Structure 1
Amino acid sequence: MTNLERCRRSVGHHPSCTICDTQDESTLHVLRDCKFAREVWLYFSPVVYSPTFFTENLQAWLISNIHCHALVSKYSIPWYTFFISILWQLWKARNEHVFNSVPQSPTDVWSKGIFWAHCYMESFLLSPT
């Protein structure tokens, strides 16, 4: 649960983001709007094609990026694979920071996201049909 959700359920004390401490920590904030997450996404610029990437609501943002089949030519991997991998790494980085006091840099998250995307693509290509 995010801090905002914990507060809504009366099991948290403060709804703000523990990383940037500037906004309430919603799911969208953790995955896109926190300055930490934004730095991670901007590493992919200009791959982040959509002019609405940083303005869509959570559902529209997830759907539009999951359905984006653009190829990230530098890595020969579809955007949606990178997108999902980065989401997972952002969530893990947030949890490491909140629960274990282990901060990570945007570069760490980005590098792990690329690694996981490559592993996924390799396993997908090697799996029997």
Structure 2
Amino acid sequence: ESEIHAIKDCSFSQAVWNSIVPPQEQVLFFSLPLDEWIMWNLQNIGDCGSHEVDCQTLFPIVCRLLWKNKNMFVFPTSHSSIQDVVDTSISWTRSYFPPSMPSFHAEPMVTIMKWSAPERSIQKV
């Protein structure tokens, strides 16, 4: 089984994505080649259906949880339900960007750090 099958093409993954991706975008979503699929999802600036979350953040979270779930299924442990994956993904995404935020794309903050010599009275141990 390939990685793309685990996070996009298997019936469990498709059910998760069908719960998230708006119906009018599902044909495109499932038909794109891997590289285009990843870029389209990472650049998607629309909303994810009625979930009111940032799709660019939700996409990698869903992929990670699908991958984790597949590993939990393959190696004898418990695994999550479709709704658990959807709910957890949306919850994690909202923890990064609450829906009330006016913009999902903040400017990066730059911190300039430099080394400075310690005071002469400090002893190295």
TM-score by length of 1: 0.68
Letter aligned with residue 62 of structure 1: I
Matched residue SS, 1:43: helix
Does the aligned pair in 1 maintain the 2:16–2:85 contact within 8 Å?
yes
Whole-angstrom distance in 2 between the partners of 1:74 and 1:89: 20
Q: Structure 2: which 5+ residue stretches go unaligned?
A: 102-107, 110-125
Q: 1:103 aligns with which of 75, 79, 84?
A: 79
Letter aligned with residue 102 of structure 1: S
Matched residue SS, 2:29: coil
Q: Is 1:66–2:42 an aligned residue pair?
A: yes
Whole-angstrom distance in 2 between the partners of 1:27 and 1:60: 15
The number of equivalent residue pairs is: 102
Determine the structure 1 residue equivalent to 2:13. Answer: 37
Matched residue SS, 2:73: helix
Q: Deviations over 1:29-71 (max 9, x none)?
A: 0011000000000112426725321111211100111001112
Does the aligned pair in 2 maintain the 1:65–1:80 contact within 8 Å?
yes
Determine the structure 1 residue equivalent to 2:93. Answer: 117
Identity among equivalent pairs (%) = 29
Whole-angstrom distance in 2 between the partners of 1:95 and 1:109: 14
Letter aligned with residue 37 of structure 1: S
Runs of 4+ in structure 1 displaced over 4 angstroms? none
Does the aligned pair in 2 maintain the 1:41–1:48 contact within 8 Å?
no
Determine the structure 1 residue equivalent to 2:61. Answer: 85
Does the aligned pair in 1 maintain the 2:22–2:48 contact within 8 Å?
no
Does the aligned pair in 2 maintain the 1:47–1:72 contact within 8 Å?
no
- For residue 92 of structure 1, report the CA deviation from its aligned partner: 1.1
Whole-angstrom distance in 2 between the partners of 1:83 and 1:49: 14
